[in-house]
Chains A and B, each alone.
Chain A
Amino acid sequence: MTATATAPAATLDRWEMVVGLEVHVQLKTRTKIFCSCSADFGAAPNANTCPVCLALPGALPMLNERAVGLASRAALALNCVVQPVSIFARKNYFYPDLPKGYQISQFDKPLALDGWIEIGTRAVGAPIRIGITRVHMEEDAGKSIHDRFTGVTAIDLNRSGVPLIEIVSEPDIRSAEQAGAYLRVLKQILEYVDVSDVNMEEGSLRVDANVSARRRGETKLGTKTEVKNMNSFSGVERALEVEFARHVRVLEAGGSIEQQTMLWDGSAVRPARSKEGSHDYRYFPEPDLPPLILSPEWIEQVRKDLPELPAARRARFSTDYELGEYDVEVLTADPQLADYYESVARAHGEPKAAANWVMGEVMATLKTSGEDIARFRVRPADLASLLNLVRDGVVSHTAAKQIFGHMVATGDPPAQIAEREGLVKVDDDSQLSAWLDEVIAENPSEAERYRNGEKKLQGVLIGAVMKKSKGRADPRKLNQLLTARFAS
């Protein structure tokens, strides 16, 4: 059974979508959560393994403190209450890439509870707040590889024991669009606090969605299904639309929804083969790990160490730099871009000019090259120097763009490039007059018409001088000379 067709819009309008998201995020630690193996991707299969993550007889887990720090940092950034005592638990099930036959996770006493994030503003003004039920720590499983060798499945346990947090939202999401917004805001916050690479394509962020439908006005939740296997945020949005439409179709026809796991294949959802919903994981407290006890002082220190979060940064950009809403959104989207912008704005002193340059030339260049801003050749101090040259009238705006191109290519300081490439602005009267003489001589009829009062031809004459000077002529001075020439 698949579901691709959507119900008529009028029918859909009678129903409300209710969604809760479970997001797994891989923490950026050097080593795994319960052993000292490298957590890096890309090693040869099973190279990053040891007795602990291979589940050899007699091996025991040791908790990675760095993982606890990152998980707590994430939880606090999501406005959760980090619990003074949390308990690891075993989630028991058999699968070849789960070497112990259980996953060490947290169950009834998770690391953190009761958080929220805001995903934008309603038409009438109140912010849309999505509750976060819990954040808990767990280990990743290995990887089953079905397509590498014919007839057999291969197991790669490099990922076994890589630290994860699971972020569970309340069923507060009411549309696919909100689900997308939630994921984008969540990703941005996690990037800001630097706990994860949050890359869905590389698997460092995975999303499962619980979706149900209810008649508008109804307060009780309908029966939910869990949708898995989405590999992009837009995939999540489309999968939710499709699954919601399926619920509505079934319910409108008087049927009922079966609680089950559905898999998204990029265009349709189909029920998962095994009835995963009926699994009994037989959770019980992990006897190999003592309760995780975090002192209030420790938790407070993690809170103090939190960097500025996106919302605070947006507010500050808007007041400190007097930037418009659009500029703020663009410049704070990524913490490294925001850092870059701030360095330029501070060094240069004119935030709006800095914003125009960063959002214009810088972002266009990065987009073309696909480069990361952290490794961008033009450092903020150099860009600020260039902007200073423009402000101080040393180079024209046009010349500045050419200089920027050379900076991207060579990494040289802008003053040096301006000098070398002859792009320093010319405001010397005799040179400007000489160019003006040549232009008048070359365009006698335009000059005559201008003299007779056709003022719109000023642009043509000035343009011709600019062209002759290769953009170096100071337009302000040139205008004065031209006006003076024909006033006499």
Chain B
Amino acid sequence: MTARSCAVVCEETAAGRVTAADTVNEAVGRAREVGAGRDGLNAFVWRDDADALSQAASLTDRLSDTKPGAMLGVPVAIKDNIATLTLPTTCGSRILEGYVSPYEATVVKKLRAAGAIPFGKTNMDEFAMGSSTEHSAYGPTKNPIAPDRVPGGSSGGSAVAVASGVVSIALGSETGGSVRQPAAFCGIVGVKPTYGRVSRFGLVAFASSLDQVGVFGATVDDAARGLGVIAGHDPMDSTSASIAVPDYTAGANVGLKGLVVGLPKEYFPASLDPEIRRRCDAAVDRLRALGATVKEVSLPHTDLAIPVYYIVAPAEASSNLARFDGVRYGFRLEGEGLRGMYEATRSTGFGPEVTRRILLGTYVLSAGYYDAYYRKAQQVRTLIADDFRRVFQSGVHVLFTPTTPTPAFPIGAISDPYEMYLSDIFTATANLAGVPAMSQPIGRIGGLPVGGQFLASHFDEARMFTAAYALERALGAEALA
């Protein structure tokens, strides 16, 4: 079951056939249905249904005197690491227990300006560190397709909010695959825009040079509309780019004649799950049939992405998370003196995975280790980005790969952190290189969704969406079978 699409809700609300309150009520009903009981999916950590309804009502009141926005009356679920005014922003962490932001993230402001209604904060791996949404202070989230399995992560709650039909669009965030991997696991669409395409102002930082707000959609069109609203330069974020935002829905009915699709061989290793390979091959056949030219390419430094990622991201995280010190907001535990307060607050407030990465990051930035780890990792990161630049300069327009090496795994199945890290092996590269990428459903294995990934060159999301629209259309029901 999916929520009514963004396009439909927007059109019907503008035409007065439904009210925003009707749509929000539907979402509330559905959220209660899938969230209730022992088998509840636990997609949301914070919701204020009355507030969402009152926002919907005021939207209807203003309808006559304003131009209808691109997301008029559309409820949007928001990951718990994006600052919202009335709902708490806790990053799935105990250390931000009770914290309500006094300011609003730029992306949320833009959503509201377009007529969307922020609908609940979604569960996540604590501080976006994880690939399963099991590592939240507020309990694990379950995959709606198979509730004994993880939804992926770290934006698992947002993926589930869409996949279970509560909303058609949700915001997530990516540092190393945290939108695309759960989109793949839950059988929906997930987009990670180019680094700098979307403002990070109000996104609680994990690794600033990798973080980017992403969008989940029930369909490619939902995702395209969602990204269209939140993209664009923001003076509050010095790393956001002043590059015009095209209409991502323009590619909705365009063929692929002339499109050159690259298949990077490193993403199709001999060890790849043959079922996943078969789904990918089928998708590639469709691309050819649509008129695209398909050729094998190479991104030779792909295998270094995970080691590089697990140096760069924890290093930045160790610094970004220093502000959670118990002094000004959030959780505080008193201890012996100032140092005791810091230690008590931080060792109790952060969970084990966050603690592990802070320690790792502190280590790689330490005097005497900086050159061997952090500097070296940044150099290798440049090589990974160069791989993409070379391929896109050679005339390739988009790349196609599997999104993940496996479908959703059972809750509790992976206890070794490194094994968990490998779940991002095909996705972390795009974050390191800063290029846009998206995942969409391309079939199922034993009932579990499989994701296919498109990647494009910097700020070329439009071409990526054109390919995704065409593949979605061509696969039709096969994408969900």
Contact = CB atoms under 8 A, between A and B. Distances in A.
Interface of B is mostly: loop
A289 B91 CA distance: 23
A287 B239 CA distance: 8
A435 interface: no
Interface of A is mostly: loop
Contacts of A94: 322, 325, 342
Contact of B365 (A55, A59, A96, A284): A284
B54 interface: no
A102 interface: yes
Contacts of B238: 60-63, 288-290
A57 B204 contact: yes
Which has the most chain A C-beta neighbours within 10 Å: B209, B235, B365? Answer: B365
Contacts, number: 102
A100 interface: yes
A57 B93 CA distance: 13
A51 B366 CA distance: 29
A290 B239 contact: yes
Given A58-B202, A155-B327, A287 B374 contact: no
Contacts of A60: 200-201, 236-239
A282 to B, nearest CB: 4
Contact of B323 (A55, A282, A288): A55
Interface string A55-78: 111111111000000000000000
Which has the most chain B C-beta neighbours within 10 Å: A55, A94, A282? Answer: A282
Contacts of A61: 238
Interface in B295-337: 315-316, 318-319, 321-325, 327-329
A127 interface: no
Interface residues of A, number: 28
A59 to B, nearest CB: 7
Interface in A74-101: 90, 92, 94, 96, 99-101
Size bracket, chain B contacts: 35 or more
B209 A287 contact: yes
A58 B105 contact: yes
A59 B96 CA distance: 15
Nearest to A280: B367
B322 A92 contact: yes
Contacts of B202: 58-59
A223 B200 CA distance: 46
A62 B235 contact: yes
A284 B89 contact: no
Contacts of A282: 318-319, 362, 365-367, 370
B203 interface: yes
A56 B236 contact: no
Nearest to B200: A60
Contacts of A288: 205, 208, 238-239
Interface string A269-305: 0000000000010111001111000000000000000
Contacts of B105: 58
A207 interface: no
B446 interface: no
B319 A90 contact: yes
11 contacts: A55-B328, A57-B96, A60-B201, A62-B235, A92-B318, A92-B319, A96-B325, A100-B322, A101-B323, A155-B328, A284-B374
Interface of B: 81-83, 89, 91, 96, 99, 101-103, 105, 200-205, 207-209, 235-239, 315-316, 318-319, 321-325, 327-329, 338, 342, 362, 365-367, 370, 374
Given A58-B204, A60-B236, 7 more contacts: A57-B205, A92-B365, A100-B323, A282-B365, A287-B209, A288-B238, A290-B239
